[in-house]
Amino acid sequence: MISGTSEAETTYTVKRLTVAVPGVREFQERYEQAVPALPLEQVTALVDRAAPWSEMLDLIADSAPYGFLIYFRNDVHPVMQLAGDDANCIAYLMGNHTIAEQMFRYDPRAMLYAPLHTVIWEDSSGQAWFTADQPSTQFDSFGIPEVAKVGVELDRKLAVLLEALGVDVPPSLHKSQAGLSQG
């Protein structure tokens, strides 16, 4: 974490992962079933009554079958279509604040990348894709081993999610998983 300085710059490399999916709207339906919306009313109720963190952990574990929830969804297609762009595209913020807390405690800047940005989109030929930045490459940029370890765990969770959705898992996620089991 930065201390005793008024500014800092960090340059790092992030790996963007893109995998083919069967169709934008078809995959959207499967994705949103596997990654449900954040149960905002229940989270708010826990916050309002200052519930023990253990209750938040239980709620989110019960709500997120693959460890992720949708915090925000933006169906970009209708707006871009007004400009004459026909590509389907849905952008998401997907994450889990109980996992993010495991990084936040070491460096609140980790929230720059939590929740994760994901997109389901189509190219000019109509081929559909799912894209996300590899979590470990983002969180490793902080240079804090505890934060980097959570990034690797998020790689594993992303790999499990993609596998459950029936799409190819990028090789770098498999490598990250191997690194986790060895470390």
Tell me which H or E stretch contains 28. Answer: helix 24-34
| CATH class name, domain 16-182 | alpha beta
Tell me which H or E stretch contains 18. Answer: strand 16-21
pTM of the model: 0.91
Say how many C-beta atoms besides its own lie within 10 A of residue 46's C-beta: 18
Going residue by residue through the chain, which has 183 residues, state the pLDDT in tens, using 9 for 90 and above: 556 677 788 898 999 999 999 999 999 999 999 999 999 999 999 999 999 999 999 999 999 999 999 999 999 999 999 999 999 999 999 999 999 999 999 999 999 999 999 999 999 999 999 999 999 999 999 999 999 999 999 999 999 999 999 999 999 998 765 554 444
